[in-house]
Amino acid sequence: MNAAHPGPSTASRTIVHLVRHGEVHNPEGVLYGRLPGFTLSDVGQSQAKTVANALDNHDITYVVASPLQRAQETAAPIATAHQLDVHTDEGLLEAGNLFEGLRVAVGDGALTRPRHWSKLRDPFTPSWGEPYLQIAHRMLAAAHRARAAAEGHEAVCVSHQLPVWTLRRFVQGQPLWHDPRRRQCGLGSLTSLVFEGTEIVDVVYSEPAGASDPRMTGA
């Protein structure tokens, strides 16, 4: 599917932009998951404003975010620029994870410790957290709710790396199991679902806030 940014909306087309939140203030480097109290860093605030600027000339009529603070803070400048409220949808929530609150990161060796082995018995589902298929289904339902709310225009849904990446793989017919180091879902990135009616006809990816390392703990 295209790598270029989608053009302006037409009457028969609705675009739902799935935005990954900006960088989070996380000096301890924990996997914060659904834990409360994690806000955007100064860099994250700047990234949110950059995304808002990138969407300034778009036909945005609906903005919705995960209930987590980092997503709400990322959505705020986008909504303000279009004189809209930020709605909240639990379907956009971060994935559940049994490593929540621990200092673990992809590739740092922490997951090789014996105490974690029982959680890693089935990487294809996965066994350490919310099943990929469940994530895909709730994210797709949230995207359709946003599409319906902005029919014929454009909507913004602010969510999190794993849920956005899982939905993208799902709608493109790819296996949901994947190498986390290869996720294409940078901080402040847009994964834009292009609908004709209720059918997804294209998926477009862009990085208005620049590239970021998918392995970053605290991002």
Contact 115, 92 (CB under 8 A): no
How many angstroms separate the Cα of 146 from the Cα of each of 2, 21, 90, 181? 22, 17, 12, 29
3-state secondary structure of 201: strand
Task: Output 136-140 pairs: Cβ under 8 A, ≥24 positions apart.
Answer: 136/166, 136/167, 136/169, 136/170, 136/176, 138/91, 138/93, 138/163, 139/18, 139/91, 139/92, 139/163, 139/164, 139/166, 139/167, 139/170, 140/167, 140/170, 140/171
**Alpha-carbon gap, residue 17 to 113, rounded angstroms:** 38
- How high is the pLDDT of residue 117? 45
- How high is the pLDDT of residue 127? 55
pLDDT tens sequence across 93-140:
998 765 666 666 554 445 555 555 455 555 657 656 788 999 999 999
pLDDT tens sequence across 45-75:
999 999 999 999 999 999 999 999 999 999 9
- How high is the pLDDT of residue 115? 58
Token pair belonging to 210: 């620049």
**Alpha-carbon gap, residue 168 to 97, rounded angstroms:** 20
pLDDT (average), residues 15-24: 97
Across the chain, mean pLDDT equals 86
Strand ordering across the sheet containing 154-159: 86-88, 60-65, 154-159, 13-20, 190-196, 199-206
3-state secondary structure of 60: strand
3: pLDDT strictly greater than 60: no
**Listed range (11-20, 29-38, 65-74, 135-144) with the worst mean pLDDT:** 29-38
pTM confidence score:
0.84
Residues 6+ apart with CB under 8 A from 174: none
**Domain at 13-206: CATH code:** 3.40.50.1240
